[in-house]
Structure formats: structure tokens, C-alpha cells
Amino acid sequence: MNSIPLSMQLAILVTLLALSGFFSMAETAMMAANRYRLRSAANLGSRGARLALELLGKTDKLLGIILLCNNLVNAAAATLVSVITMQLFGSEEWVLGVSTLVVTFLILVFSEITPKVVGANHANRLACIVSYPLSALLKGLYFIVWFVNLFVAGLLRVLRLRNNNGQDAHSLSTEELRTMVLESGTFIPPKHRSILLNLFELEDITVEDVMTPRNQIEAVNIADPITVIQGHLATCYHTRLPVFDGEMNAVIGLLHVRRILGQTLDRSLEAVDIRDMLTKPYFIPASTPIYAQLHFFQENRERLGLVVDEYGELLGLVTLEDIIEELIGKFTTSAPDSTDKLCWDANGSVIADGSQHLRALNRKLGLDLPVDGPKTLNGLVLEHLQDIPESGVSVKIAGVPIEVVQAEDRRIKTVRIFRPTKER
């Protein structure tokens, strides 16, 4: 080494530090790279991204080749600094101490911290670049890396640790995906982001959450006089109506209103004609998730179902449109909804019906009322008070002040909701 000119030794030292910095940067870039972005780039034809994914698929060999080369280069750089220092200042003990401090400083600044910061800040772009030389090095030094990894694998087995090549660290849970969507910023338009967030909630929402309650169902009582039925059919908003005989639990079928038109053009309508036009009702358990119900509608080629509880009592009605609206929002062609008129007045309050669905209220007014219990505003207040309140009683639920305006017939008819104040 002494025969090599000092200038050449300094050039070799700079080269070694640069190589060490490259391997440090490559290690950080490869490990910090977003695999999903790399996979997207690989699908678009990026060879560098494809090589990076191949290397990340065998993390033990990737780290083996990087650390093998990096440690060799660092050891060579430390030895060279010691030689240069002794040539310049002699071989006293203080010279060796100074050379150790110098090489530590150089490696930290030029080979570790700076390259790692660069690699972390530009991980995805650099991973596609450094994958080329790393792949070539791995092929050339494969036997050495394989031999070293034999001892690594043995040590992992002794410690009872499983080598999964980092696959588990890059598998995302539902909540992690939800967080990614929430933090997508301008990459996903707000409307699209809202639809994606609704998709994550499908398994937690049941048909009972989106159904039309029993007391709001538009239905035909076959026991009514034919003139009453005709008036009902002439003014109904929906094209499919449940038909019951005497009381709502006795649903005998579903009537497609358009089929009545041909009958009424030929002759007068009779109750027996309506019975002949009925189709078999489709019943749905109240606890059915709407994601599963969407598939059931598709498999059974149905668009409307009657929701029943565990005792077979009719609770409400759900349609295919109700489920789709839960995902993408209200249609302009939907039936009039009482929540459409809800808005805060100048005093920061709003009058709402006790039968309002909590999910609809939360969405319309921007509230956070709990929806894991009762489904309506009336049920929520009754559960909270554990009694049927009188008019004028006020409660605060989930930070939302609610005043009972009118209560009758064992239920809360109307309430006044006050806009919650933001806590400072």
C-alpha cells in the first residue's frame, strides 16, 4: 500500500466512501419503497420496478448482498484511512485514535446518514434504478450470499422466528386501507373517496339500517273497497307495492302497478284481478348485511324485499336502490325523503321527526350519533332515558343536545336538535 501514491490512495478512499454511500442509499430505498407503486409501474412496463419487486420478494438475499458489499467497503475504507494517517503522522497511538475518529466521521456523513436520507426521500424512484446493479451483484456473488444465509436461517430457527421475506409487513388490513383512502388528498376526488369509504362499511351495515320502516311503507290493503284501492294506485309513487290482507303482517304478494294499466283499459278493476297479478313476496332477515343482500338480489333477480325480525314480524322494506344509495348517495329520481328538508336554521337548531333514521341524520346534518343500537331518533332517546319522556325534556347524546318537542302514543313524535359546539 505504501508504494501507491498518496493521491491515488485518496482517490481510492473517495471511491470506497462513494460505494458505501451507494449501498446505504440502496438499502434504504429498497426497504422504504412502496410495493404497490412498484407493482403499478411494473404493470406499465418498467423493468427496473420489476427487478425491484423480484429483489423485495427475497429480502434475505437482498439484504445479504447489500450488507456483504457495504461491510467489505467500510472495512477497506477504515483500513485505508489508517494507512494514510500513519504515512502522514507516524504510527503513534494517538494517530491510530485520530484515524478511527476520522473514518467514523467520514462513514457517518458521506456513507450512512446522507445517503439514507436521500434514499428515504426518493425511495420509489431510486429503487427502480439501484435494482439493476443489485441484481447483477446478486447473480455474481450468489454463492457467497447463499452460504452466509445458511447461518442466518439456522439462527432464525434457533430463535423460532419465521422468515417470510417481509410479505406480512406489506399486507394491509381494512382499517389501514381505509386510512389510505382518507389520506389520499387530491389523488382521489371527494365523491369517489366517499364511495370507497362506504364500501369498507358494507359488512357492518345491515338491511335494517337502510330499510324503509314499516310505518312508512306504501302498501295496498286488499280488504279495502275497490274504489279506495283504485285511488291509492292512481296516486302511488312507487311501481312495486306490497299487498296485505287486513293487517301489515299478512302480506300476500307484491303488485307491479304497471300491470294494472292493461287491466283497467279493458274493463273495471276487481280485487280478484289484483290477486291474480301478485308475485310471491321475498322476505329478508333484519340482520342480513347489505353486502350479502346485494348478492342475494342479484342471484334471485329481485329488486325488493320485506324485512322481518326473528319472530317473522314485518319491520320494513328494502330495495336494490336503497343499497346502491348507501354507496353512492341519493338518486334524483328517489322518492321524497323527509331528510331532504332538514337543515340548520339561523339559531343552529333543526326540527326532526322521531322516526328519522340515525344514519340519514348523521349524513344530512354532519352528526355522529351512535348507530350500533337503535336505528331511529325515537329509539335512541328512549334507550338513553330508559323511559318515555314528556315534552320539554332535554338530553345530550354523543355531544348533540336534543330536546323533546312532542311525545305521544308511547313514542317521541318530534324533537329539536341543536348543532353541537366544537370543543376547543
Question: How far apart, in whole angstroms, are the C-alpha atoms of residue 17 and residue 4?
Answer: 18
State the pLDDT at residue 424: 38
User: Is the domain of 113 the same as that of 47?
Assistant: yes
DSSP string, 300-365: HT-SEEEEE-TT--EEEEEEHHHHHHHHH---TTSPP-GGGG----TTSEEEEETT-BHHHHHHHH
Relative to beta strand 212-213, strand 314-319 is antiparallel
pLDDT confidence of residue 168: 52
Place of cell 343536545: 401
Strand order in the sheet with 400-408: 349-353, 411-418, 400-408, 394-397
Last residue of one domain, picked from the residues 306, 328, 350:
328
* Residue carrying C-alpha cell 330536546: 403
Whether 329 contacts 194, CB under 8 Å: yes
Residues 353 and 229 in one domain: no
CB atoms within 10 A of CB 71: 12
Which grid cell sits at 217? 311503507
Is the distance from CB of 363 to CB of 371 less than 8 angstroms?
Answer: no
Beta strands in 104-239 (DSSP E): 212-213, 220-221
Same domain, 210 and 287: yes
Predicted local confidence at residue 327, as pLDDT: 78
Q: C-alpha angle with apex 348: 404 to 193, nearest 5 degrees?
A: 105
Judge whether 103 and 81 are in contact, CB under 8 Å: yes
| DSSP state, residue 204 | G
Distance CA 342, CA 239 (A): 27
Residue 393 lies in a domain: yes
What letter does residue 250 receive in the DSSP assignment? -
Residue that terminates a domain, selected from 270, 295, 328 = 328
Cα–Cα distance between 34 and 46 in angstroms, integer?
15
Q: Are 321 and 361 members of one domain?
A: no
Both 13 and 136 in a single domain?
Answer: yes
Q: Do both 304 and 355 map to the same domain?
A: no
In a domain, 424, yes or no: no
Domain containing 391 equals: 338-418
Quickly tell me which residue has 339559531 as its cell.
Answer: 347
Q: Check residue 337 and give its pLDDT.
A: 57
| Domain-embedded: residue 92 | yes
> What pLDDT, on the 0 to 100 scale, is given for residue 267?
60
Among 192, 164, 165, which residue's Cα sits nearest to residue 328?
192
Residue of 247, 277, 243 lying closest to 259 (CA atoms):
277
User: Residue 170's closest CA among 29, 60, 31, 43?
Assistant: 31
**Are the CB atoms for 326 and 378 separated by under 8 Å?**
no
Total tally of structural domains belonging to the chain: 3
Residues 159 and 244 in one domain: no
269 and 401 together in one domain: no
Cβ proximity of 17 and 80 under 8 Å: no
Q: What is residue 312's predicted lDDT score, i.e. its pLDDT?
A: 84
Domain co-membership, 312 together with 370: no
pTM: 0.58
Tens-digit pLDDT string for the chain (424 aa): 556 777 787 888 888 888 888 888 988 888 888 888 888 888 888 888 899 888 888 888 888 888 888 888 888 888 887 788 777 777 677 777 777 788 888 888 888 899 889 988 988 889 998 999 999 988 888 888 888 888 888 887 888 776 665 555 556 666 767 777 777 666 777 777 777 777 777 777 888 888 888 888 888 888 888 888 888 888 888 888 899 888 888 888 898 888 777 666 556 777 788 888 888 888 999 888 888 888 888 888 888 899 998 888 898 899 888 888 877 777 655 555 555 567 888 888 888 888 788 887 887 788 888 887 787 888 888 888 888 888 888 888 888 888 888 887 778 888 888 888 764 3
Residue 41 to residue 98: CA distance in whole angstroms = 48
Question: Do 311 and 357 have their domain in common?
Answer: no
Could you tell me how far CA 115 lies from the centroid of its own chain?
34
Same domain, 86 and 42: yes
Q: How many angstroms separate the most distant Cα atoms in the chain?
A: 121
Residue 215 exposed, middle or buried by CB count within 10 Å (0-12, 13-18, 19+): exposed
DSSP lists the bridge partners of residue 394 as 403
Q: Hunting for cell 484511512 — which residue is that?
A: 81
Cell, residue 238: 312507487
Helix (H, G, I), strand (E, B) or coil at 79: helix
Q: Which of 282, 280, 276, 223 is nearest to 248 (CA)?
A: 223
